[in-house]
């Protein structure tokens, strides 16, 4: 394994350093790269060990396998000071990674990628059952992983999985949409998370609308005279003590909308506009073939995929379109907006 495996290009040293300092920085960079490569190799080795542990557990027969998995997970957990459930989950992850994405594990072992790259590739492509399609997806995703950070890889991997999965994207979305639900995760200090799982376009639209209402609240408190301007809507007069952040106001707005049907603020004396004056915005990239009725998925501007039917419905109601000219890798070369 080369200590420079994870380096994709020779970095340019910062200006103002002396030649001696540049040399020290170069040495430090090489040491960091070597440490990251060693960690990646260790992560790959751990995956292989955990997969072997799962194989040992399941070799004892179906009637004993569940108990054996728990017993072996408990033994490993005690050795590494982790919980039994954590180790059992990691054993499952190892079997998935080695069974379906062996080339990615090999790349991890060589220090070409990091564990977070592998997680992104596995998470996005785990649903691809066709072996040939999954192999093509893995090769394309690995090419991205060797050049991109895990954060940039994750949305790219999701789009690649959409492209290579032979199951039509609309069919996958329909199946996934059947699992939409709302649940509560109780936390500490009297707090809890209210989680909504729904179509991506709906989620982003709801978040955008709540953000716009929250900004209206903040604008109203920062410019109190604007509430009385001719033709202006009443956005609520928040007292000077209202120092809530955008995130806090957005959370309050969503809670009020759900509980009362109105975007009222606990800190304000009146309602916040929720009618036609405030619209949600969802930015979607839609292939021309999808608009023509094809089955290729579109993409939200945030990078996540969107099913063809939703993409066409949003496009039909759009007041402004922007045409993008891209190269073969998807980078935008030119844009043109029109109504």
Tell me what pLDDT residue 230 has. Answer: 39
Tell me what pLDDT residue 169 has. Answer: 81
Residue 266 has pLDDT above 50, yes or no: no
Q: What does the pLDDT average to over 106-135?
A: 96
Residue 144 has pLDDT above 90, yes or no: yes
* Better-predicted residue by pLDDT, 222 or 243: 243
Torsion sign, CA atoms 79, 85, 90, 92: positive
Scored b (16 or more CB within 10 A) or e, 150-162 reads beebbbbbbbbbb
Q: Residue 149's CB: how many other CB atoms inside 10 A?
A: 12
Integer Cα distance of 51 and 91 in angstroms? 6
8 A C-beta contact, residue 295 and residue 172: no
Integer Cα distance of 338 and 323 in angstroms? 8
Residues 6 or more apart from 68 whose CB is under 8 A from it? 56, 57, 58, 60
What's the pLDDT tens digit per position in 146-187?
A: 999 999 999 999 999 989 999 888 888 888 899 999 998 988
Scored b (16 or more CB within 10 A) or e, 308-321 reads bebbbebeeeeeee
- Indicate the burial class of 80 (C-beta count within 10 angstroms; 0-12, 13-18, 19 or more): exposed
Q: Is 281 helix (H, G, I), strand (E, B) or coil?
A: coil
Residue 291 has pLDDT above 70, yes or no: no
8 A C-beta contact, residue 191 and residue 290: no
Q: Residue 262's CB: how many other CB atoms inside 10 A?
A: 11
8 A C-beta contact, residue 306 and residue 299: yes
Looking at the chain, the whole-number percentage of residues with pLDDT higher than 90 is: 49
Structural tokens at position 328: 């073969």
Q: Is 77 helix (H, G, I), strand (E, B) or coil?
A: helix
* Better-predicted residue by pLDDT, 304 or 41: 41
For the chain, give the mean pLDDT. Answer: 81
Integer Cα distance of 332 and 324 in angstroms? 6
Helical (H) or strand (E) element with 88: helix 84-100
8 A C-beta contact, residue 31 and residue 39: no
DSSP of 150-165: HHHHHHHHHHHHHHH-
φ, ψ dihedrals at 321, nearest 5°:
-115, 145
8 A C-beta contact, residue 5 and residue 41: no
Residue 324 has pLDDT above 70, yes or no: no
* Better-predicted residue by pLDDT, 89 or 281: 89
What's the pLDDT tens digit per position in 183-224?
A: 989 887 778 899 999 998 899 999 999 999 999 988 888 776
Structural tokens at position 233: 């809507």
What's the pLDDT tens digit per position in 81-100?
A: 999 999 999 999 999 999 99
pTM of the model: 0.64
Residue 282 has pLDDT above 80, yes or no: no
Tokens 């992850």 sit on residue: 93
């Amino acid at each position: 394994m080369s200590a420079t495996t994870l380096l994709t290009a020779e970095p340019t040293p910062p200006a103002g350093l002396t030649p001696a300092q540049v040399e020290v920085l170069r040495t430090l960079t090489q040491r960091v790269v070597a440490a990251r490569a060693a960690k990646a190799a260790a992560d790959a080795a751990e995956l292989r060990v955990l997969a072997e542990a799962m194989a040992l557990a399941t070799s004892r027969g179906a009637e004993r396998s569940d108990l054996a998995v728990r017993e072996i997970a408990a033994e490993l957990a005690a050795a590494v000071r982790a919980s039994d459930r954590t180790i059992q989950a990691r054993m499952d992850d190892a079997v998935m990674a080695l069974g379906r994405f062996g080339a990615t594990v090999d790349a991890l072992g060589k220090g070409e990628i990091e564990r977070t790259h592998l997680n992104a590739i596995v998470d996005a492509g785990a649903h691809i059952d066709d072996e040939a399609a999954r192999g093509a997806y893995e090769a394309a995703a690995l090419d991205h992983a060797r050049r991109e950070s895990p954060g940039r890889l994750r949305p790219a991997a999701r789009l690649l999985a959409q492209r290579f999965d032979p199951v039509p994207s609309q069919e996958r979305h329909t199946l996934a949409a059947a699992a939409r639900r709302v649940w509560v995760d109780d936390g500490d200090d009297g707090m809890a998370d209210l989680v909504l799982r729904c179509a991506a376009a709906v989620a982003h639209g709801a978040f955008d609308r709540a953000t716009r209402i929250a900004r209206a609240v903040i604008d109203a408190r920062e410019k109190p005279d604007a509430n009385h301007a001719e033709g202006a809507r009443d956005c609520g007069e928040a007292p000077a003590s209202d120092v809530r952040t955008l995130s806090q106001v957005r959370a309050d707005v969503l809670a009020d909308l759900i509980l009362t049907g109105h975007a009222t603020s606990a800190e304000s004396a009146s309602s916040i506009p929720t009618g036609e004056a405030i619209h949600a915005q969802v930015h979607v990239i839609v292939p021309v073939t999808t608009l023509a009725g094809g089955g290729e998925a579109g993409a939200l501007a945030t990078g996540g995929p969107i099913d063809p039917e939703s993409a066409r419905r949003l496009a039909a109601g759009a007041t402004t379109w922007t045409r993008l000219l891209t190269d073969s890798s998807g980078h935008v070369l030119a844009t043109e907006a029109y109504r």
